[in-house]
Chains A and B, each alone.
Chain A
């Protein structure tokens, strides 16, 4: 083994980690499997240009909800405030557009960052279980959004001025997908090319050990929540554009599950310590392929969507629970 190490110090780890990536990510096999199944069962519908573009769009939306929170899941905590950031951030853009003009879209990442900061500080300092805290945050923001819609007397919170964002400069590549790319790039950079990714894994894997290694655990926990909020805010721009320059105004729990399912399907265990945004991207693709393909199949009733989503999440968490054996779970 040490002989191998004498070779180029860089290439070997990259190759081995590439092999690990494929070996350690059942999501990749799932993607191949799903593509093969659907393109053989309903080839003309599944492989049509329109459907492939739709897959790209849905992938952008799903991954944008899930990539940010992955950083928090690495800690073994959980952040479901993405629904709230996405919904109320859009309402803020709509509210502030008259004052800020086109720049108001940048409210999204700033707002996400602030919510993340709040979540992180309250979770770390007041020691509230992160799931309950961020869920309450999502609920509060979602209700606020509905409230804004109700009091302003409009049906949707649309900002038509951003219509130019909907046109993609590249044919067949939808603009939400392009808008999602910066978020993905930032997430991957943070995970693999800064110490943040390593530290978050370390804390999730063994918090006490991370403390012994001299890591400021509280600071990095708060940072994780901040980056989670920031990335969700940035990514929400893509969703905002996808939905026609508007935000959702009514809370739908199945949207909430979407992000969680993508993370879990990707193979980041809820106990934290391993995985990362790259896996979440794969998980988002699996999720999108399943639902895209499912509704192309004859005899599948879209009204039963929730049932399928529930069953899928159930299956995903059961599979993902393998990593949790032996831990004391509440």
Chain B
């Protein structure tokens, strides 16, 4: 390899959190001059830990860092990393909407442009203009950030990253190639905006190096020079696209890993609902939200599970959120039990029509400081309420407790009692409480978003068991997840989505074949 091109080298980096979780295990990567390097992997694969070590947010347990062949210590904070020419553009929350473009560009960098406390605005605006001319960012300097399209906002953020490195290094900026880490830069962007952003990044390649952190495969394939694949904290593959060609499928399999199909569910039959001709419970017709998804149409039968599958950013989670009323669609129809549901409804009106929502994100839907029993009964008032005078509903504490105990026992939740507050439970148990309440409620349709994210294998299996039982009881499921195994276990049908459109419908069997699960 051409050594003179080598810019940064991080060798054998390991990092362990709380002495238990091995986030990174002897990972070695190198960054070359003027390239776009991609680091791909699932959530929790260790991508962001690695990046945070490079910019000095975390310190590694072991490892070495070389810059231009010379060994250097790991940066202790982001400012030190900045002086070495490394910085990061975060996925979201980095943009400050109500600042003007030049204010945002110089935010936190004003030190050198202040005289006696007074900002030298002319100088700042002048530099902004020249930087934008040089980098090819086209926008009105006086407009507010929120007025700009999201792709331009991202470009300004990247310009800010370059500028901050230049200012941190000082005069001899031409000798140093800035390394800019882009953390999931395309996550909030619509499809057209992504193209625009990639053009921009490619145009900046001649003076900078980019590390592109992502799990959106087509984008990675299209723009990168080299790709590293991380899985469970380990480096599993390295591809140099200039000398080898790989397919999207191959990359995908490297990212998710090949784990044998869970024997536990081998006995489960798929496609029964359709074979038995069960009635259609949920029909989605031409559901559209501009910039996110178009013309989504599918049916779900009683006791059937449909998975919306596709790379991140394909619009699947937006569709799920729309079904539950968190996101408003622009057009289309949602029909439950042959009656149309207003697409402008809120979650409570959807629930009254029988659509429930379960997300694996802890703390989002769980009341962490409530005892288990209250978390269970919040959606199950019908079951625990007595009406002694016909007009007032009274919660029967006894019924509430019995109900919660039933669920704790059934789902094998490890808790001292149903009075235990949820924050003291383990991650898996929290998730089980969340899903248990829906098991009792038995809505007609349950929308699942990443139902098992961030929990251990044992708890996962328990949750799959519950969800499969729900199916047997006639509850229809709509699944959105990042894990293909989950689709293989739960779904009767898998709908493939890409770029906001439906592509193909697989049966469970076909899906497994395609995925080689």
**A16 in the interface, Cβ–Cβ < 8 Å?**
yes
**Chain A residues whose C-beta falls within 8 Å of the C-beta of B94 in the assembled complex:** 209, 212-213
Asked if B98 and A16 make an inter-chain contact with CB atoms under 8 angstroms apart, the answer reads no
Instruction: For A193, give the chain B residue with the smallest CB separation.
Output: B118
Q: In the complex, identify which listed stretch (A1-9, A31-39, A96-104) lies at the interface while the others stay far away.
A: A1-9
Contact digits for A50-89, partner B, Cβ 8 Å, 1 yes 0 no:
0000000000000000000000000000000000000000
**A302 in the interface, Cβ–Cβ < 8 Å?**
no
Q: Which of A190-229 contact B (CB under 8 A)?
A: 193-195, 198-199, 201-202, 204-206, 208-210, 212-215
Q: Which of A2, A12, A195, A206 contacts B110 (CB 8 A)?
A: A195
Asked if B90 and A212 make an inter-chain contact with CB atoms under 8 angstroms apart, the answer reads yes
Q: Which of B74-121 contact A (CB under 8 A)?
A: 78-79, 90, 93-99, 102-104, 107-108, 110, 114, 117-119, 121
Contact digits for B3-44, partner A, Cβ 8 Å, 1 yes 0 no:
000000000000000000000000000000000000000000
**Chain A residues whose C-beta falls within 8 Å of the C-beta of B98 in the assembled complex:** 201-202, 204-205, 273-274
Asked if A2 and B117 make an inter-chain contact with CB atoms under 8 angstroms apart, the answer reads no
Interface range on chain B (Cβ under 8 Å from partner)? 20 to 34
**A185 in the interface, Cβ–Cβ < 8 Å?**
no
**B141 in the interface, Cβ–Cβ < 8 Å?**
yes
Asked if A212 and B93 make an inter-chain contact with CB atoms under 8 angstroms apart, the answer reads yes
**B125 in the interface, Cβ–Cβ < 8 Å?**
yes
Instruction: For A189, give the chain B residue with the smallest CB separation.
Output: B118
Asked if A5 and B103 make an inter-chain contact with CB atoms under 8 angstroms apart, the answer reads no
**A40 in the interface, Cβ–Cβ < 8 Å?**
no
**B142 in the interface, Cβ–Cβ < 8 Å?**
yes
Asked if A2 and B133 make an inter-chain contact with CB atoms under 8 angstroms apart, the answer reads yes
**B269 in the interface, Cβ–Cβ < 8 Å?**
no
**Chain B residues whose C-beta falls within 8 Å of the C-beta of A193 in the assembled complex:** 118-119, 121
Asked if A213 and B107 make an inter-chain contact with CB atoms under 8 angstroms apart, the answer reads yes
Q: Which of B96, B119, B125, B133 contacts A213 (CB 8 A)?
A: B96
**A13 in the interface, Cβ–Cβ < 8 Å?**
yes
**B140 in the interface, Cβ–Cβ < 8 Å?**
yes
**B291 in the interface, Cβ–Cβ < 8 Å?**
no
Q: Measured between alpha carbons, how far is A241 from B9 in the docked complex, in Å?
A: 69
Asked if B97 and A273 make an inter-chain contact with CB atoms under 8 angstroms apart, the answer reads yes
Q: Measured between alpha carbons, how far is A158 from B108 in the docked complex, in Å?
A: 47
**A125 in the interface, Cβ–Cβ < 8 Å?**
no
Asked if A201 and B99 make an inter-chain contact with CB atoms under 8 angstroms apart, the answer reads yes
**B460 in the interface, Cβ–Cβ < 8 Å?**
no
Q: Measured between alpha carbons, how far is A213 from B107 in the docked complex, in Å?
A: 7
Q: Which of A5, A20, A209, A214 contacts B96 (CB 8 A)?
A: A209
**Chain B residues whose C-beta falls within 8 Å of the C-beta of A198 in the assembled complex:** 99, 103, 107, 110, 119
**B138 in the interface, Cβ–Cβ < 8 Å?**
yes
**Chain A residues whose C-beta falls within 8 Å of the C-beta of B517 in the assembled complex:** none
Q: Measured between alpha carbons, how far is A17 from B143 in the docked complex, in Å?
A: 9
**Chain A residues whose C-beta falls within 8 Å of the C-beta of B344 in the assembled complex:** none
Q: Which of A17, A199, A208, A214 contacts B142 (CB 8 A)?
A: A17
Q: How far is the CB of A162 from chain B (nearest CB, A)?
A: 31
Asked if A1 and B139 make an inter-chain contact with CB atoms under 8 angstroms apart, the answer reads yes
**Chain A residues whose C-beta falls within 8 Å of the C-beta of B279 in the assembled complex:** none
Contact digits for B193-230, partner A, Cβ 8 Å, 1 yes 0 no:
00000000000000000000000000000000000000
**Chain A residues whose C-beta falls within 8 Å of the C-beta of B97 in the assembled complex:** 205-206, 273
Q: How far is the CB of B127 from chain A (nearest CB, A)?
A: 9
Q: How far is the CB of A145 from chain B (nearest CB, A)?
A: 34
**Chain B residues whose C-beta falls within 8 Å of the C-beta of A13 in the assembled complex:** 102, 125, 141-142
Q: Assess A1 versus B140: contact at CB under 8 Å? Given A212-B93, A273-B98.
A: yes
Q: How far is the CB of A16 from chain B (nearest CB, A)?
A: 5
Q: Measured between alpha carbons, how far is A248 from B217 in the docked complex, in Å?
A: 69
Asked if A206 and B118 make an inter-chain contact with CB atoms under 8 angstroms apart, the answer reads no
Asked if B78 and A194 make an inter-chain contact with CB atoms under 8 angstroms apart, the answer reads no
Q: How far is the CB of B148 from chain A (nearest CB, A)?
A: 12
Asked if B96 and A202 make an inter-chain contact with CB atoms under 8 angstroms apart, the answer reads yes
**Chain A residues whose C-beta falls within 8 Å of the C-beta of B103 in the assembled complex:** 198, 201-202
Q: Assess A9 versus B129: contact at CB under 8 Å? Given A193-B119, A210-B96.
A: yes
Instruction: For A202, give the chain B residue with the smallest CB separation.
Output: B96
**B192 in the interface, Cβ–Cβ < 8 Å?**
no
Q: How far is the CB of A161 from chain B (nearest CB, A)?
A: 35
**A10 in the interface, Cβ–Cβ < 8 Å?**
yes
**Chain A residues whose C-beta falls within 8 Å of the C-beta of B99 in the assembled complex:** 198, 201-202, 205
Q: How far is the CB of A216 from chain B (nearest CB, A)?
A: 10
Q: Measured between alpha carbons, how far is A215 from B110 in the docked complex, in Å?
A: 11
Q: Which of A5, A199, A205 contacts B129 (CB 8 A)?
A: A5
Q: Measured between alpha carbons, how far is A321 from B91 in the docked complex, in Å?
A: 29
**B175 in the interface, Cβ–Cβ < 8 Å?**
no
**B122 in the interface, Cβ–Cβ < 8 Å?**
yes
Asked if A1 and B138 make an inter-chain contact with CB atoms under 8 angstroms apart, the answer reads yes
**Chain B residues whose C-beta falls within 8 Å of the C-beta of A199 in the assembled complex:** 107
**Chain B residues whose C-beta falls within 8 Å of the C-beta of A205 in the assembled complex:** 96-99
Asked if B141 and A208 make an inter-chain contact with CB atoms under 8 angstroms apart, the answer reads no
Instruction: For B140, give the chain A residue with the smallest CB separation.
Output: A1
Q: B residues within 8 Å of A by Cβ?
A: 78-79, 90, 93-99, 102-104, 107-108, 110, 114, 117-119, 121-122, 125-126, 129, 132-133, 138-142, 144
A-B CB contact pairs (8 Å), 11 listed: A1-B140, A2-B133, A9-B125, A9-B129, A13-B142, A17-B142, A198-B107, A205-B99, A206-B96, A206-B97, A274-B98
Q: A residues within 8 Å of B by Cβ?
A: 1-2, 5, 9-10, 12-13, 16-17, 20, 189, 193-195, 198-199, 201-202, 204-206, 208-210, 212-215, 273-274
Extra 10 A-B pairs, beta carbons < 8 Å, given A9-B126, A201-B96: A2-B133, A9-B125, A13-B141, A195-B110, A195-B119, A199-B107, A208-B93, A209-B93, A214-B79, A274-B98
Closest 9 CB pairs of A and B: A205-B98, A273-B98, A214-B108, A213-B108, A274-B98, A195-B110, A206-B96, A16-B142, A208-B93
